[in-house]
Amino acid sequence: MAEVSLQGVHKLFGSVTAVEDFNLSIGSSEFVVFVGPSGCGKSTTLRMLAGLEDVSSGVISIDGKPVNNVHPKDRDIAMVFQNYALYPHLNVFDNISFGLRAKRLPKDEITTRTNEAADILGLDELLKRRPGELSGGQKQRVAMGRAIVRKPKVFLFDEPLSNLDAKLRHKMRAEMKLLHQRVQTTTVYVTHDQVEAMTLADRIVIMNLGRIEQVGTPDEVYKHPASQFVASFIGSPAMNFATGTITGTGSKAALKTDSGEGISLAGCDIAEGRRIQLGFRPEHMMLAKAAKPASGHISIGAHITVIEPMGHETVLTCDAGFGEIVGKYEGEDRFTPGDAANFHIRADRLHYFDLDTGLRI
Ligand SMILES: Nc1ncnc2c1ncn2[C@@H]1O[C@H](COP(=O)(O)OP(=O)(O)OP(=O)(O)O)[C@@H](O)[C@H]1O
Ligand SMILES: [Mg+2]
């Protein structure tokens, strides 16, 4: 368990800036997830933490001590990669204990620690097998075992579940959470999957083009996304947006979309004439019979184009004129493509972003 801090960290590869002015303090035992699209600098930041990549400028500290010049093997960090990098000719026991043997720890201690890790990960029965005789999820657990057994100050994970199928990913996600509850090791976890980020993290760091867009708890980034980028990245199906100009004030306030629709935003206090993006989540759109919304709600009319029954809920893709929007409701399909639909949304569930800066208003 350790505190980790990155202050003013930059990384350049030649003329390419991979990471820019990265500032983050991670608390002891915290589980922090870096999430963002491909190429946004997640792995590079993790590799700088591990010491596998030099920093171009800035300071990385572990427990208050700068480690910029500390060799990776002396940082007391264990890293798990997407490709588990197991030794194919060694059995599970020898794979897990490899690092301990390299450190020439006493044999008894190696056996105790390895059995302990195998117990935590449910690998007891598999210790004699080689990687070729294991499933993807079991291999992943061996890779985790190799990290746990070292009892490092910090765990770093780079997309550790992305080679697994959806069902196994879900299972391993729960195991990852359980593992952290048991060992409480400070963890930095990289993924491009926002569901993994939301479900695992104490705090999420959303990155875009080498920079941090927002740091917050899953609840904060979902309810109060700091930018349109964060809003569009967190949540599934993704948030819907309408682009336009604010007209009128007070009870007459409205959004005139760029394609000409008027959406009443009664009570909205954004200055008339300001160019914005209005955001609303599929799960906050309520199907309504009447176009006119109750007080404290707005109304959006659309035509259904695609219906996706999921059993417990139905997802509707619709043409709202200003663009495609996705809504959903609990229950079975009762529509036909082409049907008109009215959605009402509580005004306090709307999100407003400045069109130029992308920042939350
Ligand atoms: N060794 C390198 N030399 C040059 N450019 C690099 C190098 N490593 C990474 N980059 C560049 O730095 C940027 C960030 O890469 P990085 O691997 O950190 O992204 P990522 O967020 O982990 O993406 P992914 O989700 O695809 O793994 C990218 O533009 C990438 O092309
Ligand atoms: Mg990566």
C-alpha 47 to ligand 2 mean position (Å): 10
Q: What is the reported pLDDT for 166?
A: 83
Domains and CATH numbers, the chain: 4-233 (3.40.50.300), 240-354 (2.40.50.140)
Cα–Cα nearest to 12, from 49, 58, 50: 58
Q: What is the reported pLDDT for 133?
A: 93
What atom in ligand 1 is closest to the CA of residue 40? 21
| Contact between 87 and 98 (Cβ < 8 Å) | yes
DSSP-assigned letter for residue 138 = H
**Sign of dihedral through CA atoms 272, 277, 282, 284?**
negative
C-alpha 45 to ligand 2 mean position (Å): 9
Distance CA 160, CA 145 (A): 13
Per-residue tokens: 33: 């997830």
- By percentage, how much of the chain surpasses pLDDT 70? 100
Distance CA 166, CA 168 (A): 6
Per-residue tokens: 41: 């600098």
Alpha-helical (H) ranges within the chain are 42-50, 92-102, 107-120, 136-148, 166-183, 194-200, 218-223, 228-233
pTM summary value: 0.92
Q: What is the reported pLDDT for 167?
A: 81
Per-residue tokens: 249: 């004030």
pLDDT tens for the chain, 361 residues long, are 799 999 999 999 999 999 999 999 999 999 999 999 999 999 999 999 999 999 999 999 999 999 999 999 899 999 988 777 899 999 999 999 998 998 899 999 999 999 988 988 888 999 999 999 998 888 988 998 998 898 899 999 999 888 778 887 888 888 889 889 988 999 999 998 999 999 999 999 999 999 999 999 999 999 999 999 999 999 999 999 999 999 999 889 999 999 999 999 988 999 999 999 999 999 999 998 877 888 899 999 999 999 999 888 899 999 999 999 999 988 777 889 999 999 999 999 999 999 999 999 9
Cα–Cα nearest to 333, from 276, 279, 296, 287: 287
State the ligand closest to the CA atom of 37. Answer: 1
Q: What is the reported pLDDT for 85?
A: 83
DSSP element (H, E) containing 346: strand 340-346
Cα–Cα nearest to 134, from 162, 107, 176, 164: 164
Distance CA 237, CA 332 (A): 18
Per-residue tokens: 14: 């030649």
pLDDT digits (tens, 9 = 90+) for 118-139: 988 888 999 999 999 998 888 9
Q: Which of 6, 15, 42, 48 to mutate to test the pocket of ligand 1 (most atoms within 8 A of CB)?
A: 42
Paired sense of beta strands 286-288 and 297-309, if any: unpaired
Q: What is the reported pLDDT for 225?
A: 98
| Contact between 179 and 144 (Cβ < 8 Å) | yes
